[in-house]
Structure 1
């Protein structure tokens, strides 16, 4: 375990665990938390041991958005504080998108506000407990979507539904979140940890270069047209076909056995 502050980082079996650790504030985002989160992301980045990342929060909820008590305490200086806070938040969500390994978000309780919902939208797979709830929350406090949600949310759930969520700030329960594609899986609360680890281990056993290329292509494809995506796909497939993992994967299919990927 690295650190005992607002973000914890630990490793095991090819999986890095990044944990928001401000349960007394609902894991609400402050500048100190965002700095710690970015440090954890950069520590994981390029670490050859890591093949998957699990992002979670301690306590009863995943993330309640920005720390509204801290925001309110800034008074007239709030715009300056939020300029800095928003810059750090953008660095964090960009870092998660650009990590070379898949990121799995574990959601218990609530994922609300720009930070909470934004983290859900900028990660690759999301496993939610059945009691989880989601809310945009920006306009509720006279603000607007951040953490990239103005770009990601509509691509995930569709423009009309995204507009409904960000303008009404209504809560979305886990069942609806699954139905609209906001999360990948929903499980009973008591099975949440086990399901996340099963998924993380499955990702960690995959071919690292292939998964990294796939993640990059999928995220880049969000902002591109169909034709513009084809050359990148062709280049990646050709490059990957020359790796040892590709040959191992082909041989494993022929031999009807599980592949043993090494990242080469």
Structure 2
């Protein structure tokens, strides 16, 4: 959370604040390393829907409260379910899938702040489904699922290989080795790594830059990029042409062109 933000959801497993066109979504179970439970995932879904319905939002920052971004599923919570665990995890996985899909399909860019640790289907899945991931130099990432006899979820099996390549992805999910921040940046798992003491400032800088952009342009660009992951080159071209033609008729496009001609910064209104 940042100073001066409007508090929209003050407590519970997920908090939400808003300021400067930026929605700040924060996982809020620091005592459990922001480990995912059904309750947390329901709360995350609710918060994402609030953001989706708020036309003021131009960018999203996703972070975790406490020492970790997200340690994955709450293993203590899972173990306590006993014989009911399969039914619990069917529901938990469904909620996680809804959340990562909602973030990918959100009409504004999602910038994720990774500090401490991002692990398990939840932690890795949230990293994979984000548009921009800025990572503290001391942060680490691990798949983790097979370590507890389970399989990756949260969309990781669909997205991880597209980010880092099939061979690297197989290595990460089968060995559960820890990926240091520098390697995560080098292989394309995160966008960039910054020193720990400037992480918050860098996240806010990027979010402000994006929030100042043309909303419809950013939404269309995000949509085209994500859709392009599952399509061939030729299949993507008509969508690009359609979006460009549509955007050219917006006031923001005219403002952008005039700003370039006048050699000034554009003021986009999303109209």
Task: Tell me which interval the TM-score lies in, with the shorter structure as reference length.
Answer: over 0.9
Query: Does the Cα contact within 8 Å between 1:55 and 1:103 map onto a contact in 2?
Result: yes
What is the distance in 1 between the residues matched to 2:267 and 2:13? 37
**2:17 is paired with a residue of what secondary structure?**
strand
Scaled by the length of structure 1, what TM-score is found? 0.99
1:134 is matched with 141
Give the structure 1 partner of residue 234 of structure 2.
Answer: 227
**1:165 matched residue in structure 2:** 172
Task: Give the alignment partner of residue 190 of structure 2, picking from 171, 183, 188.
Answer: 183
2:126 is the counterpart of 1:116:
no
Alignment match, 1:98? 105
Query: Matches of 1:69 and 1:55 in 2, distance apart?
Result: 24
Select 1:201's aligned residue among 193, 202, 208.
Answer: 208
Matches within 5 A, 1:56-75: 56-75=63-82
For residue 12 of structure 1, what is the aligned residue in structure 2? 19
CA displacement 1:199-236 (0-9 Å, x = unmatched): 00000000000000000000001100001100000000
Please give the residue correspondences for 1:11-30 in structure 2 after superposition, counting only pairs within 5 Å: 11-30=18-37
Structure 2: 5+ residue stretches without partners? 1-6
Give the C-alpha shift of residue 54 in structure 1.
0.2
- Partner Cα separation in structure 2 for residue 161 and residue 92 of structure 1: 25
Q: How far does residue 3 in structure 1 lie from its aligned partner after superposition?
A: 3.1
Any stretches of 5+ residues in structure 1 without a counterpart? Answer: none
Report deviation, 1:46.
3.1
Alignment match of 2:246 (pick from 218, 239, 245): 239
Counterparts of 2:245 and 2:237, CA distance in 1: 12
- The corresponding residue for 2:55 is 48
Query: 2 CA distance for matches of 1:160 and 1:250?
Result: 44
Residues of 2 paired with 1:143 and 1:3: CA distance? 34
1:126 partner SS:
strand
The answer to whether the 8 A contact 1:46-1:100 is kept is: no
Q: 3-state SS of the aligned residue for 1:216?
A: helix
Task: Return the offset for 1:47.
Answer: 1.2
